[in-house]
Amino acid sequence: MEHYNMNLTLKVWRQKNAKDAGRFETFEVKDISSEMSFLEMFDVLNEKIVSEGKEPVAFDHDCREGICGMCSMVINGRPHGPWNGTTTCQLHMRAFKNGDTITVEPFRAGAFPVIKDLVVDRSAFDRIIQAGGYISVNTGNAVDANAIPIDKDKADKAFAAAACIGCGACVAACKNSSAMLFVSAKVSQLALLPQGHPEKNTRVLDMVSQMDKEGFGSCTNTGACEAECPKEISLENIARLNREFVSAGLSAE
């Protein structure tokens, strides 16, 4: 793969806090390697800003390995940028061309208030998990891993749902800021397995209720969430969530 350097114009959202109106600032970065990650490019930008005696751009990151879901940026209008199935930290600068202008914004959603610049508060997701993300287990001696037979198809679907890293790209991609893909993935990974059955009904009712309390919108059925998800979580999970929710409601009557 050919390696090259590029000069870029960055239009970056700057916002002091949730109450600040915010605005775009324009920066020029030069000699950016095509093999850099997007976050490494931002490190270079911040070094330049600090050397000028100014305040660096705040952005979220941790593992930089596509695992934690912290790197929440909207790049040229797409959560996590132009590559499908890729987090911002795994996006490389070869996705862009010399002379490009790149617009970078935070995830936009009422339930994700801006903390500073590109950093948003996604603790609403934590509260949804806390509302129902647990299972009853017997403590004591560990049972054999194969003690409970699980259909392979269900095991594979549960594993695929569990791949959700809770980054919030689905919310940022949805015009209604819906969290349905995230919640459905968390419901599915437990609903599909026998270990998750004891709290099956209360879990889905409590998690959906908390999702509504947090101010997320309703599902648009456009599929933008699946298209922008870095882990390519399937819309099939939303259909399963709806079935689980209706079933739980009927059982509660």
Kindly report, residue by residue over 180-229, the tens digit of the pLDDT: 999 999 999 999 988 888 888 999 999 999 999 999 999 999 999 999 99
Q: What is the 3-state secondary structure (H, E, C) of 197-244?
A: CCCHHHHHHHHHHHHHHCCCECCCCCCHHHHHCCCCCCCHHHHHHHHH
Confidence of residue 145 (pLDDT cuts 50, 70, 90): low
> Which pLDDT does position 137 carry in this prediction?
67
> Model confidence over 71-98: pLDDT tens digits?
999 999 999 999 999 999 999 999 999 9
- Give yes or no: residues 85 and 154 share one domain: no
Instruction: In whole angstroms, give the CA distance from residue 236 to residue 157.
Output: 10
Q: With respect to residue 230, please indicate whether it lies within any of the assigned structural domains.
A: yes
21-51 residue pLDDT tens: 999 999 999 999 999 999 999 999 999 999 9
Looking at residue 22, its pLDDT comes to 97
Give the per-residue pLDDT at 148: 77
Q: Locate tokens 């030069």: which residue?
A: 30
CATH (domain of 184): 1.10.1060.10
At 147 the pLDDT is: 75
Same domain for 245 and 129?
yes
Percent of the chain at pLDDT above 90?
85
Kindly state whether residues 134 and 229 are assigned to the same domain: yes
Q: Are residues 127 and 100 in the same domain?
A: no
At 143 the pLDDT is: 66
pLDDT digit string (tens) for 127-142? 999 998 677 766 667 6
Residues 149 and 37 in one domain: no
Q: Which of 84-98, 111-125, 143-157, 225-239 has the lowest mean pLDDT?
A: 143-157
Listed residue (46, 33, 197) closest to 118, CA to CA: 46
Establish if 146 belongs to a structural domain: yes
Range of the domain at 161: 123-252
Give the model's confidence band at 179: pLDDT under 50 very low, under 70 low, under 90 confident, else very high: very high
Which among 34, 32, 26, 115 has a CA at the least distance from the CA of 72? Answer: 115
Which phi-psi region, left, alpha or beta, contains residue 7 (left: φ > 0; alpha: ψ -120 to 50)?
beta
- In this structure, the answer to whether residues 21 and 57 fall within a common structural domain is yes
Question: Do both 142 and 246 map to the same domain?
Answer: yes
